[in-house]
Structure 1
Amino acid sequence: MNLIRLSITDFRQILREQLLWVMFIVAPAAQFALARWLVPELIAAFPVFDGYQVLIAGAFTVQVVSGIGFVMAMMLLDEKDDGVLSAIRVLPLGPGAFLIYRLFTATMIAVIFGFAMLYFSGLVAFSVGEAFAAALLFALICPAVVLFMSTYGDNKVEGLAMYKGVNLVLLLPIVSFFVPDGWHFALGFIPDFWSFHFTAALAGEQDIPWLFFGLGVLAHLLLIGLLYRQFRRRVFH
């Protein structure tokens, strides 16, 4: 019951702030529309982009799932600035349960939005299971974004600046598809590197995609675990 009330309160907070509801509703809808209707027209007009649909779909998916992370992080930064997070330590729910609730909620929403982008945009031909697996892997960057921004940002202005930098880093793995074999693993320290290569392997019907999936899950969980400890130490000290 407490979690239901929290969810309702969180949704109301998103609707109250223009930046949050734009990032939560308008931006994903606009990105889906671009991927579904504009990108095919651009590819038809500029055939040089034909064959890169999986990278384009991956880039849109990263933007969608990181946008959900941005919304949740901005809410946490607001609560951090107002002293709400300090007060949570004395509530029955507890800081750990509260943070896990926020991260789990953000991840599940990111999975849904990511699945919609990968399965319904028409850029790639994935089965339901493949699209879900790819969406899940991409969505794991969402809690990492939440934790990074809310741990190291002191306010929403800093959070916005940090998100711009994070977005650029998350798109860097695209470069790995245009460098000689072997060199592309130099970007493997960025967790969504494995998400991009997993979706590319699925689209190419290769035998190796599930190795990329496993490595991707491991890379994301290691980063989330590190950031979770940092958040608890710096915010719930």
Structure 2
Amino acid sequence: MTGVRAAAGVSLEWRVQLRHRVPAAAAALAALWSAVLLAVPAAWAPTAAVYLLIVDTAGFGVLFAVVLVLFERAEGGRAILAAAPLRPIEYVGAKLAVLTLLATAIAVPMTLAAAREHPAAVAAALPPVLLGVALLSLLLVGAALAACGGAGGIGALVTRVPLVAPLVVVPVVHVSGALDHPLLYLVPTTGGAELIRAGLLPGAALGAGPLALAVLYLLVWIAGAAILACRAVGPETAAGLPAPVGRSGTSAAGRNALRPAQRDRAPVRAAASSGRRCGGAAGGLARADLRGLLRDPLLVALLLGPAVLALVLRWAYPSASGFLAARYGLDTGPLAPVLLAALVVLHVPMMTGAMAALRTVEDADDGTLLLYRVSPLGLPRFLAYRTAVAVITAGSGLAAAVPLSGLVTGVAPDRVPALVAAVALAALQAPLFVLAATAFAPAKVETLVLVKIAGAVFTLLPVAVWWLPAWAAWSLAPLPLFWPVAVLPGYDVAPWPVGLAAGAALAALTGAWLLARTLRRLERG
């Protein structure tokens, strides 16, 4: 009977994720990263694949698992499961199984692309690589559910999910050789990383005995993470037991589910009641947002994230450059414009746009946008306000992050206007991200699918423009993302006055189209 329930839970979970297009995101990332590995020289492809599999593929399901749990709580799905025979271990196991299956599926074409120079070794490479990715995925997703399963809103994405980061950082440091010490094996994911390396780089792998012990240690941690995840999500899925009811007659789960909606409707009431004050309805909404600034982890992350990212780069880049030069003979000096474009100029507006998009889509999920339609603000002005906040926040973050990163010290004074133009065009990408989410993503999970795919595109486009011949790079010109990179010092694909005018015009046209599509979709909904 337990096996029947578990199979039914996995089947239901697959249908839910299929409806939210999570498998589509997995397919897109598999195609994208496989193409990248095919473009990397065959001698370097296995090494690049090891890092990609550890950093991106094994953790594919982390954010999806968290957002799916939060979505199901907000929609009341987990409260319904309290009266169903599905147990917490079966609920958690279904998520672990489906998301791990997707991560493993992504790893298959990536491994084939990375090992193309030695076709005879592919059959030997696949089993350890896929086992390593599967074990890492189980632990990372289980740990994320344990950390965030009891959270009450999407603020968990910036307050609790980073707690899982050391499980990724430590094996990357170990595999790179920057720090090689036996104590690193106390971090369980190091064993999974060794499995992946054993498949793609067998000459650098551990012996069979130590590797088996590391895998056994990892399995113990996976079991512990699954138990903690069941406890985190268990109160609403305990077999047949209703949630406790307070004196008011409302269950604790119901009150917790209502709080996000009540919290998000507060700005609407504030905006409506302050419509005659300075700034009108938009001013009232801005004052309400400012009052809630320090209580909202997403807004705090929007303000502090770019500076933190820049300081990490400023500290880590010289050390990483020295290590790469000493170990691999790689001079990273000429690559500074690529790192600046991928890790700062485009990454900051992507972070800002993603968080603002999640907040806006959460408003739609909670029905708050219905209130904006009848408030003095109205939907068009509300979206204009959100996009204006996104572009101002992204611009401010870039103004701080670009100089703090230490990657612009070599820019000549006469190239500063081009740098300013690139920053201005990059800031325009944040509101476009928000409007793309509201135009095409009906819920938070779909928005996260967009974030996952966009993260890869935002990172790879600067690399493509740098690597491709000039005539091929111009084929990317219809994308608004192309223009901040095109005018950035070091790239100089287009003169900055021409690039600024063309990029701003393209961003305006794209934004107008996305806004019209968003308004049509929201008015229908």
1:193 aligns with 2:482: yes
Stretch of structure 1 that moved more, 106-115 or 125-134: 125-134
Aligned twin of 2:305: 27
Q: Is the 8 A contact 2:425 2:504 kept in 1?
A: yes
User: How far 1:14 moved relative to its partner?
Assistant: 6.0
Aligned twin of 1:108: 392
1:87 aligns with 2:345: no
Stretch of structure 1 that moved more, 41-50 or 145-154: 41-50
Q: Is the 8 A contact 1:173 1:190 kept in 2?
A: no
Aligned twin of 2:338: 55
User: How far 1:129 moved relative to its partner?
Assistant: 4.7
Aligned twin of 2:467: 178
1:141 aligns with 2:424: no
Q: Aligned partners of 2:293 and 2:448: how far apart in 1? A: 16
Q: Is the 8 A contact 1:124 1:203 kept in 2?
A: no
Alignment of 1:1-237 (within 5 A): 1=278, 2-11=281-290, 15-16=294-295, 18=297, 20-21=298-299, 23-47=301-325, 48-59=331-342, 60-125=344-409, 126=411, 129-174=417-462, 175-199=464-488, 202-203=489-490, 208-237=495-524
User: How far 1:21 moved relative to its partner?
Assistant: 4.4
Q: Counterpart of 2:334 in 1: which secondary structure? A: coil
Q: Aligned partners of 2:363 and 2:408: how far apart in 1? A: 39
The higher relative CO (CA closer than 8 Å, separation ≥ 6) is in 1
Q: Aligned partners of 2:438 and 2:365: how far apart in 1? A: 10
AA in 2 matched with 1:45: F
Q: Aligned partners of 1:93 and 1:158: how far apart in 2? A: 27
Q: Counterpart of 1:145 in 2: which secondary structure? A: helix
Q: Aligned partners of 2:490 and 2:366: how far apart in 1? A: 46
User: How far 1:119 moved relative to its partner?
Assistant: 2.6
AA in 1 matched with 2:319: E
Q: Aligned partners of 2:492 and 2:482: how far apart in 1? A: 18
1:5-62 deviation line (CA, Å, top 9, x unaligned): 31243356565454x2464245323311222221122223324221111111111221
Stretch of structure 1 that moved more, 213-222 or 202-211: 202-211
Q: Is the 8 A contact 2:282 2:377 kept in 1?
A: no
Q: Is the 8 A contact 2:363 2:369 kept in 1?
A: yes
Q: Normalization by structure 2: what TM-score?
A: 0.41
User: How far 1:169 moved relative to its partner?
Assistant: 1.9
Q: Aligned partners of 1:11 and 1:159: how far apart in 2? A: 25
AA in 1 matched with 2:478: F
Q: Counterpart of 2:485 in 1: which secondary structure? A: helix
User: How far 1:130 moved relative to its partner?
Assistant: 4.5
Q: Is the 8 A contact 1:35 1:57 kept in 2?
A: no
Q: Aligned partners of 2:345 and 2:467: how far apart in 1? A: 20
Q: Aligned partners of 1:54 and 1:227: how far apart in 2? A: 30
Q: Is the 8 A contact 1:119 1:131 kept in 2?
A: no
Q: Is the 8 A contact 1:115 1:131 kept in 2?
A: no
User: How far 1:177 moved relative to its partner?
Assistant: 1.2
Q: Aligned partners of 1:156 and 1:39: how far apart in 2? A: 34
Stretch of structure 1 that moved more, 208-217 or 133-142: 208-217
AA in 2 matched with 1:58: A
Q: Counterpart of 1:122 in 2: which secondary structure? A: coil
AA in 1 matched with 2:375: L
Q: Normalization by structure 1: what TM-score?
A: 0.87
Count of aligned pairs between the two proteins: 234
AA in 2 matched with 1:43: S
Q: Is the 8 A contact 1:140 1:220 kept in 2?
A: yes
Q: Is the 8 A contact 1:23 1:67 kept in 2?
A: no
User: How far 1:70 moved relative to its partner?
Assistant: 1.3
Extract unaligned runs of 5+ from structure 2: 1-277, 326-330
Between the aligned residues of both structures, percent identity stands at: 26
User: How far 1:109 moved relative to its partner?
Assistant: 0.9
Q: Aligned partners of 1:206 and 1:77: how far apart in 2? A: 36
User: How far 1:123 moved relative to its partner?
Assistant: 0.5
Cα 1:91–1:21, aligned 2, differ >3 Å: closer, same or farther? closer
AA in 2 matched with 1:114: L
Q: Is the 8 A contact 2:307 2:397 kept in 1?
A: no
AA in 1 matched with 2:497: W
AA in 2 matched with 1:208: P
